[in-house]
Structure 1
Amino acid sequence: MKDAPEQAAALLAPILGKDEEEVAAQLRGTGRYALLATRQTPQVWTQIKDLKNAFQEKATKDRPSILAGVFQEPTSKRVYPNGDLAAGILGWVNSEGKGAGGLEAQYETSLAGTPGEVRYAQAGGRQVPTAGGSEHPAVAGTDVRLTLDRDIQWAAQQAITDQVKKSKADRGYVIVQDTRTGEILALANAPGFDPNDLRHADVDALGNPALQDAYEPGSTSKIMSMAAVLEENKATPGTHVTVPGELRRGDRIFHDDIAHGTWHLTLNGVLAKSSNIGTILATGQLGGTQQQANRVLHSYLHKFGIGSPTGLGFPGETSGILAPPDKWNTSQQYTIPFGQGLSINAVQAASVYSTIANGGVRTEPTLVKATKGPDGRWAPTDPAKKTRVVSDRTAKTLATMLESVVDDKEGTGTSARIPGYRVAGKTGTANRVDPKTGLYRGYTASFAGFAPADKPRVTVYCAIQNPTKGGYFGGQICGPIYKSVMEFALKTLQVPPTGAAPARLPTTFEP
């Protein structure tokens, strides 16, 4: 006949999912108690409790229940009910329940609160009532309300995940920002991870690459070069730029993405057709010498936030790289104007376009809307810092030029058109630095823009690293993502369709 430990083990092992002999051995231990299992669900304890009650009803003084000594000790566990949704932002907690990534780590101190404490004297294991003591009640942690829109976050995450898989890319990110306030409505990474199941997560997917990856942006950064040229009154959208098929500068010969003879473009056409050569020629007018032009361009890149923290304070965030202008080598002084030779993160890129959409004023991006302290009251976070980068006039001109990228039949961003809305956008295709070798391998495809172009409300930025199937140009790979996410955001936020027809600027001239 089985002894009590064996009988109890036969009942408990199947519920706990453990070996019966192992449980019996634990029950025969010589310690004050045996820890049979940890991190079990309430459902497991319910099954055991039902058994305890059944045996207790049949127990007698001479024959006590074999499960009488089985008890549970409640513990807490952080649960993420939305699984992988916004996991890169939220982060996760470690086995001790402390924030180990994302906002969980950033706000660990305020989220955790302060444990309570009771001190008293005891004798023989019992409290001595007359000996006095002290009590310090626990202080609840702070609750944090984010700026994210759950529905827009879901749509962005689905779109970028699908395209990363479809294009067999390494990874990708989408940022959706409220153009007026700087609030981030969605920040999605792919591939992602489920913080409820870190054991099966891909190590490379952990973290928040949209803020932690630094990469060369390519042509989406040309808008900053155009901003400098317009703000410094060196050209207008209609200025004629004769673009040769190749351009020698220093020891390099530069080409555009497609081979061509001489193009007769306006400055607006240089942006619409995303001409590297045209951009080099335009920014060369920023100073009497190339060195002077470099300094002027650098000042604008810096004002747009390139090379500086975003202001989010996110753990592991990169500021990117923007070398001082006197450190630009012969190649960089011609490649930086079209987005190579500097590096950024995805939130910085989105912020550039929000700055233009917001009348030339850069509003620091924000992720936290309000916090609730122990008193139960919600307090809004401090207003975001604002900095004027270019004039309202320049910003409106740039917005009109960005419409040509999407609306003009020869623009590179036609895949981002949205029926009923005026859309401003820019494609980007950059040579990509392999983080393992430090050498150029593959491409970064991107698309950035805002809508409605005449009354901006939403900014969307998308980038995909190393697409290997279905093309690699920004318009091909990221244009459709931009369109689907932007359409969803406009509908979710109930932004009415544009009433006016798109503005049209000439892209070419007759020599």
Structure 2
Amino acid sequence: MAFLAFALSLAYGFYLLWHNAPGLSLQPSPSASPLRGRLEAADGTPLALSTPEEPRLYPLGLSATQLLGFGERANGRGLAGLELDLEPLLSQGQSLRLTIQPQVQAIAERALWRGAQSARADWGAALVMEARTGRLLAVANAPPFDPAAPRKGAQEDLSWRNHAFTQAIEPGSTVKSLTAAVLLEEGVAQLGTRVYAPMSRRVAGWTINDAVKHPETLTLAEVLRYSSNVGITTLAERLPRATLYRYFERLHLMDKALLPPPHPAVAVQVASPLFRPLARWGPAEYANATFGQGFLITPLHLAAAYNTLAADGTYRQPLLFDGSPGRSERVFRPEVAQDIRRALARGMTENARLAGYTLAGKTGTAQVVVNGRYSNEVYTALFAGFVPAERPRATVVVVLFHPQAGRIHGAQVAAPIYREIAAGLLALWGIPPQLELSSPGGRLVR
């Protein structure tokens, strides 16, 4: 009996202790800060997470770290990338799922990191965009960045920056494909339309030059093949300047807010494009614009515009967050987009071709303005294309800034990266190479 009384007294004492000392309660305190929300890949793979012991962990190591960003080491509060952009949501414990596919991200990063290092580029970016939905399957940046390593100064180390979103560059000759699509859409030229295209011409006191030797008369398809500045500017004079400007707007090359946010309270930072207003497009400015010079856009803007050709003429807003509604808009007729893809497939640089597959894309090599003048030493090398060409599943854009290994052209340093990404995607999707059966045993189509 004494033992029972002692047990009851002890239980009552514990009850009073629990009731009068909420800090010792086993229930969570309403005022306690929630665990920071997770960032997940499209398949649910954790990309960034927090535990009671660790403010922030990145389970996939170096993968997608520039996109994810980083936070304060003590509490994980966002300082860069999505960690900063999404701070109002993540700090309240809300988790978000991205459209990024880890396998595709790894394919893009492997090719980009290797290619950027070989070219000795200051930085690089590669995007893979799903053609039919606009979902971003990969956002890769080079060189690799380790958010767990000691950090250098922001200006001393560029590796932490998400160049794919935040660096505006001149897109160079990749834009010729878009200009050609406008010519076809407006009915002022066909792929077989011929144009007199010497190696140089004068426009409003400025000299426009071609870099690749070619015949003096070219078809529009050959203008794309030889990447003729003279040819595309001459054909584009058949259009009012306002027409091309309007198509650039419809391709959202001038948009500041390109990505739909997951919540009205946040916005993903994308660098603003830089365009002269239409009133300042004189003959020289217009000519330069037709081949991607004189304005700045991000690699993301270029990928979304090019994807319009992959999606048979329909612009699809790029999507980064699962479930985000994206806008779409018809820009070109399907046959126009298909004609441009076929022309790009036929005229594509050898360094981008892949035995057994039909790929399509366009190179670009853009001079960079240094101290107010176009430099003869600093260039941006680009490649923008589709995988595969006939019914694209993805648009791929590769950008290398300031390659310095003796090779500066997009055909030399960006096209091989595109080819490696394309090979990885086709293998991942299980698409076999096509075979010609005219010879015993068959052979790969080239």
Please indicate the TM-score interval, normalised by the length of the shorter structure: 0.7 to 0.9
Whichever residue aligns with residue 157 of structure 1, its letter is E
The 3-state SS of whatever aligns with 2:184 is helix
Q: Does 1:439 align with 2:365?
A: no
Determine the structure 2 residue equivalent to 1:280: 233
Task: Provide Cα deviations, 1:463-500, integer angstroms capped at 9, x if missing partner.
Answer: 11111114111111111100001110121123454589
Equivalent pair of 1:101/1:315 in contact (CA under 8 Å)? no
Determine the structure 2 residue equivalent to 1:305: 252
The 3-state SS of whatever aligns with 1:205 is coil
Report deviation, 1:259: 5.0
Report deviation, 1:232: 0.4
- Aligned counterparts of 1:200 and 1:83: Cα–Cα separation in 2: 19
Determine the structure 1 residue equivalent to 2:347: 405
- Aligned counterparts of 2:120 and 2:157: Cα–Cα separation in 1: 18
Q: Does 1:368 align with 2:321?
A: yes
Task: Provide Cα deviations, 1:135-167, integer angstroms capped at 9, x if missing partner.
Answer: xxxxxx222222112122122112212222211
Whichever residue aligns with residue 97 of structure 1, its letter is G
Whichever residue aligns with residue 297 of structure 1, its letter is L
- Aligned counterparts of 1:207 and 1:316: Cα–Cα separation in 2: 12
Residues 497 and 259 from structure 1, CA distance in 2 versus in 1: closer, same or farther, beyond 3 angstroms? closer
Q: Does 1:91 align with 2:69?
A: yes
- Aligned counterparts of 1:395 and 1:466: Cα–Cα separation in 2: 31
The 3-state SS of whatever aligns with 1:142 is coil
Report deviation, 1:312: 4.7
- Aligned counterparts of 2:353 and 2:300: Cα–Cα separation in 1: 23
- Aligned counterparts of 1:189 and 1:279: Cα–Cα separation in 2: 31
Question: RMSD of the TM alignment (CA)?
Answer: 2.0
Equivalent pair of 1:217/1:344 in contact (CA under 8 Å)? yes
The 3-state SS of whatever aligns with 1:193 is coil
Report deviation, 1:329: 3.9
Q: Pairwise mapping of residues 257-296 of structure 1 onto structure 2 (< 5 A)?
A: 257-259=211-213, 263-286=216-239, 293-296=240-243
The 3-state SS of whatever aligns with 2:342 is helix
Equivalent pair of 2:303/2:397 in contact (CA under 8 Å)? yes
Determine the structure 2 residue equivalent to 1:392: 334
Task: Provide Cα deviations, 1:310-350, integer angstroms capped at 9, x if missing partner.
Answer: 22556441131122221124431211101100111001111
Determine the structure 1 residue equivalent to 2:3: none
Report deviation, 1:405: 2.2
The 3-state SS of whatever aligns with 1:285 is coil
- Aligned counterparts of 2:436 and 2:338: Cα–Cα separation in 1: 15
- Aligned counterparts of 1:253 and 1:387: Cα–Cα separation in 2: 37
Equivalent pair of 2:178/2:306 in contact (CA under 8 Å)? no
Determine the structure 2 residue equivalent to 1:169: 121
Residues 177 and 500 from structure 1, CA distance in 2 versus in 1: closer, same or farther, beyond 3 angstroms? farther
Q: Does 1:455 align with 2:403?
A: no
The 3-state SS of whatever aligns with 2:385 is strand
Identity, in percent, stands at 34
Residues 338 and 280 from structure 1, CA distance in 2 versus in 1: closer, same or farther, beyond 3 angstroms? same
Task: Provide Cα deviations, 1:147-195, integer angstroms capped at 9, x if missing partner.
Answer: 1121221221122122222112111111111111111111111123111
Residues 354 and 496 from structure 1, CA distance in 2 versus in 1: closer, same or farther, beyond 3 angstroms? farther
Q: Does 1:347 align with 2:281?
A: no
Q: Pairwise mapping of residues 75-474 of structure 1 onto structure 2 (< 5 A)?
A: 75-94=53-72, 95-113=74-92, 141-199=93-151, 203-259=157-213, 263-286=216-239, 293-309=240-256, 310-312=258-260, 315-369=268-322, 381-406=323-348, 413-434=349-370, 437-441=371-375, 442-474=378-410
Report deviation, 1:400: 1.2
* TM-score between the two structures when normalised by the length of structure 1: 0.70
Task: Provide Cα deviations, 1:388-444, integer angstroms capped at 9, x if missing partner.
Answer: 1111121111111111222xxxxxx2211112221111010111123xx34322111
Report deviation, 1:226: 0.5
- Aligned counterparts of 2:191 and 2:232: Cα–Cα separation in 1: 13
Report deviation, 1:218: 0.4
Task: Provide Cα deviations, 1:223-253, integer angstroms capped at 9, x if missing partner.
Answer: 1110110000001111111211221111112
Residues 438 and 500 from structure 1, CA distance in 2 versus in 1: closer, same or farther, beyond 3 angstroms? farther
- Aligned counterparts of 2:433 and 2:275: Cα–Cα separation in 1: 39
Larger Rg: 1
Report deviation, 1:280: 0.3
Whichever residue aligns with residue 307 of structure 1, its letter is M
Mark the runs of 5 or more structure 2 residues left unpaired by the alignment: 1-51, 262-266, 438-446
The 3-state SS of whatever aligns with 1:347 is helix
- Aligned counterparts of 1:254 and 1:143: Cα–Cα separation in 2: 52
Determine the structure 2 residue equivalent to 1:507: none
